[in-house]
Chain A
Amino acid sequence: MLTAVLAGFFVSILLIPFGKYLKNRLSVLLVLLPALLFGYFAGFIPAVSAGNPVYSHHAWVPSAGINLDFHLDGLSLLFCLLITGIGTLVYIYAVAYMKGHPYLDRFFAYLSIFMAAMLGVVLSDNVLLLFIFWELTSISSFFLIGFNNDNADSRKSSITALAITAGGGFLLMAGLILAGYLSDTHSIREMILSNAILKSHSLYGLVLLLVFAGAFTKSAQFPFHFWLPGAMKAPTPVSAYLHSATMVKAGIYLLARLFPVLGGTDYWTVPLVIIGGCTMLLGAIISIFKKDLKEILAYSTISALGVLVFLIGVGTEAALTAAAVFILVHALYKATLFLVTGIIDHETQTRDISQLSGLRKLMLPVAIAGALAALSSAGIPLTLGFIGKDLIYEATLHTKLNFLFILTAIAVITNIFLVSAGFLAGIKPFTGSLPERLSGVHLPHWFMWMPPLILAFLGILFGSFPGWVGTSVLQPAAAAITNNTAGSPLKIWHGFNLVLLLSAVTIVSGTLLYLFKKTTAASSYPLLSAISAEKTFKRMGDYVKGFSTWYSNTMHNGFLRSYLLRIIIFAVLLLAYRVINGEPLEISLARISTISIYEIVVAGILIAAVYMTVTSTSRLTAVVGTSVIGYCICLMFVFYSAPDLAMTQFTIDTLTLVLFVFVLFRLPPFLNFANSKVRLRDGIVSTSFGVLIGIIALQALNEPIQTDISKFYGENAYTMAKGRNVVNVILVDFRGMDTMFEIVVLSIAALGVFSLINLRLKSSEKE
């Protein structure tokens, strides 16, 4: 199973070297990938429908609890079949749709990565693994939305989509880690066993909030829905595949998968029902006011996703069965409609429904596919949509929730609008008379019209004979959500009851709405655009950008000294906090040695030299001042038993002085740039830093000294290294390697000095 999940990644890697050979008709070979995977997963149908889920375990990072654990149960199988099945058709379609595109190989590579990641999401049993695949779907979606990367709108939409979905993914990660921490496992199966602990924990609400944030952003729920219409900038096969049939359902999948872990409480039900209800209503209403075919489909997809969230929120067995059925229903008809739209767009170069009509005369198979999908979307009897709709109404009518009437009403209104939207997208472009402008349009290659036709026929086939698909795929899926094995068989006919009446009302009103609604301009619903979350997010983005610009300009102003100043102020604050809150200051007299008059004299000279160096206006005086400081330190070393240091310091100081004087002799005197205020500020900062260092050094003096290492050197300097000067022995023997590298550093510095001195610039390089 690991190979099956990762196959897409392998293929996309292989496309890097071999992609250029596949740009012509050979790209058909790529269809083999989803087709084989579909066959592979279809082979599991008997086992899974018999109630025997398949597990596979590979250790990956066992120490962090991240393992390649895959778990194929009914719900996963439903999604796997959708992903690979629709994937196969979309690949076939894309071969023709993208024909001749210069980046065909890149397109299929992204698509394969996406497919693999999506399979990973629905198969992972480990929540952290699930998160990794989850983010991979966001990333591949980002690349696919921005596939036409020479188009500014495309780029912007892809960034918006990534920002929303990855932002949600980030919160989801927090939620999953928290859930894993509370239940002490990263396996979803084990979490189900300990769901009572999770639900009674005080952090349960937070886990829910974070998981909802991930699911809502991914599945385009209000108020995060706006990235989905923007994502329609992607090539149409991508819209059909990612943004309608599979990826956006990852959020639904997550909610369904976690239902046995987290679901069933009021904290679960109320937010999902409210958000799902808002989303399905808004999406459906907005969709019929749109004129662009893809936008109609985008908003009706948002609405359908809302329906699914709503159903999972209601959470009764009927509702969850309805959700499982509706996932399949929606994938079948919406993918068909998208593919049909893609054909129309590809052949006529327009997606404006007010300009499209009569296309049935030119592309009959496409018209049939569109009409069948529209009928399924409307829920006409004998389509799978009819069964789905029935189940939804049954679910809302039989909930134990208080607002039964309102919920059912919302569902009915949503469906009325969806019926109308489906007709707009699937039927309207094909009816009426053919305008002159479109008479040159012809039927595309059968690679393009066959996939939607197959999907549409499947919708009818499953609708007319629901028995097989019901027992072998949909009921196991519903059983996996509810975590028990029960499930009632799907029926075409439920008898004359309230549900049927509601269905009839829906279809009739939807059809009437379609027939009598004039195509209104998009601006005629100010109320809906006023609550558009898109603007809010845009404004937030602007604020963030403004803040970062301000921050960069203040903090990164390009002046070395202001960087230094900030670093030092920060260090001062940090150290001061520590010193003030640390142990009280005390001077241990035990370690203080006596002081003699010549030491005081040397220190006095040193202080005077420092004063001279800092205040002098002459460069030479300042340099001489530093040398005096160096010689004073040299004397200190002499007093305190460090003859080697004294010699080195003496030599180095002399050399530095000579170098300074030779090189800088001709430079002008210091210019006094700073005003007294700046100097006062710098003075305060540097003095407080110096004082703090002094205090810390004083505290360090109170610490006991470790002399083990010194003793080792003292005892072994002669016995082992035959040297009497211990400092020398340490440098050239015990730490000889370090000294050698020090010599290397000095040689490099010497080379630098030498080449800088000998560098002769061409006149053009001089200013």
Chain B
Amino acid sequence: MEILLLILIALLYSTGIYMLLRRSMVKLLIGLGLLGNGVNILIFLLGSITKGKPPVIDDKASLFRDIYADPIPQALILTAIVISFGLQAFAIVLLKRVYVLVNSDDLDDLNTPEEEDI
């Protein structure tokens, strides 16, 4: 299973970077999302992955009696997911604003607004 996850990580990283290198702003955003997902899986994989043993303590017990999944990567990823949502939400709205102003999805149109005035 780890090998499969590794392939997915490589795939998400590659496509994320590829989309970041596009000229379209929407693609840039999508690339950011893909890259973020790749990072999350990477963190997840680097703690040992465990099937069917969530890090939740049984009722009536105060300690784990069985093995359990590593809670630290999960806490990290949870934070990462939420923060990247904040980033994405802001970026999406900003993108919309830019589109209204410049009427283009092309990053290169943002480079030289002054020149167009001349």
Binding site for B on A (CB under 8 A): 558-561, 564-565, 568, 587, 591-595, 599-600, 603, 606-607, 610, 613-614, 619, 622-623, 626, 629-630, 633, 636-637, 639-645, 648-649, 652, 655-656, 659-660, 663-664, 667-668, 670-671, 673-674, 682-683, 685-687, 689-691, 693-694, 697-698, 700-701, 705, 707, 709-710, 713-715, 717-719, 724-727, 730-731, 735, 738-739, 742, 745-746, 749-750, 752-753, 756-757, 759, 761, 766-767
Contacts and interface: CB of A to CB of B under 8 A. Distances in A.
Given A652-B85, A682-B18, A727-B71, 17 more contacts: A561-B23, A613-B19, A613-B34, A619-B26, A623-B30, A643-B54, A659-B88, A670-B27, A682-B22, A689-B13, A689-B14, A690-B9, A694-B13, A701-B46, A731-B75, A745-B83, A756-B96
B54 A642 contact: yes
A635 to B, nearest CB: 12
B1 A683 contact: no
A577 to B, nearest CB: 19
Given A599-B1, A701-B45, A610 B21 contact: no
A175 to B, nearest CB: 47
A626 B46 contact: no
A622 B33 CA distance: 12
B93 interface: yes
Contacts of B47: 705, 710
Given A565-B21, A607-B11, A649-B81, A592 B46 contact: no
A567 to B, nearest CB: 10
Contacts of A613: 15, 19, 30, 34
B17 A689 contact: yes
A757 B88 CA distance: 15
Contacts, number: 276
Contacts of B26: 619, 622, 664, 667, 670
A641 B89 contact: no
B56 interface: yes
Given A619-B26, A714-B64, A693 B72 contact: no
B104 to A, nearest CB: 9
Contacts of A606: 8
B51 A690 contact: no
6 contacts: A610-B15, A656-B33, A673-B23, A694-B10, A697-B9, A756-B96
Contacts of A682: 18, 21-22
A710 B71 contact: yes
A686 B78 CA distance: 26
A640 B69 contact: yes
Contact of A674 (B3, B23, B95, B105): B23
Contacts of B23: 561, 673-674
Interface string B65-97: 000111110110111011101111110111111
A639 B8 CA distance: 16
Contact of A690 (B13, B46, B87): B13
B30 A626 contact: yes
Contact of B14 (A592, A623, A687, A705): A687
A687 B14 CA distance: 5
Contact of B69 (A641, A663, A719): A641
B101 interface: yes
B44 A642 contact: yes
Contact of B40 (A633, A656, A690): A633
B8 A645 contact: no
A652 B59 CA distance: 29
Please indicate which of the listed interface residues B1, B4, B71, B103 has the most CB atoms of chain A within 10 Å of its own CB: B71
A724 B59 contact: yes
A263 B13 CA distance: 63
Given A610-B12, A725-B56, A694 B6 contact: yes
Closest 6 CB pairs of A and B: A690-B14, A694-B10, A686-B17, A641-B69, A749-B86, A690-B13
A558 to B, nearest CB: 5
A35 B59 CA distance: 89
Please indicate which of the listed interface residues A641, A655, A730 has the most CB atoms of chain B within 10 Å of its own CB: A641
Nearest to A614: B15
B72 to A, nearest CB: 5
Given A592-B1, A595-B4, A642 B69 contact: yes
A749 B111 CA distance: 25
B7 to A, nearest CB: 7
Nearest to A669: B105
Nearest to A752: B90
Please indicate which of the listed interface residues A630, A644, A745 has the most CB atoms of chain B within 10 Å of its own CB: A644
Contacts of B58: 724
A610 B17 contact: no
Nearest to B24: A670
Given A614-B19, A753-B89, A731 B101 contact: no
A645 B14 contact: no
Contacts of B20: 561, 564
Nearest to A643: B54
A730 B2 contact: no
A705 B73 CA distance: 12
Contacts of A561: 20-23, 107
A767 to B, nearest CB: 6
A642 B111 CA distance: 43
Contact of A664 (B33, B85, B95): B95
Contacts of A749: 86-87, 89-90
Nearest to B13: A690
Contacts of B68: 641, 714, 726
A694 B62 contact: no
Given A564-B20, A626-B33, A719-B62, A600 B4 contact: yes
A645 B21 contact: no
Nearest to A594: B1
B118 interface: no
Please indicate which of the listed interface residues B41, B81, B113 has the most CB atoms of chain A within 10 Å of its own CB: B81
Nearest to B47: A705
A322 to B, nearest CB: 66
Please indicate which of the listed interface residues A587, A595, A693, A753 has the most CB atoms of chain B within 10 Å of its own CB: A693
A591 B45 CA distance: 11
B71 to A, nearest CB: 4
A664 B74 contact: no
A767 B102 contact: yes
Given A610-B12, A664-B26, A640 B44 contact: yes
A714 B107 contact: no
Contacts of A714: 55, 63-64, 68, 71
Given A559-B108, A622-B26, A667-B26, A593 B1 contact: yes
A488 to B, nearest CB: 76
A606 B99 CA distance: 30
B42 A697 contact: yes
Contacts of B14: 686-687, 689-691
Contact of A698 (B6, B34, B53, B86): B6
A560 B23 CA distance: 9
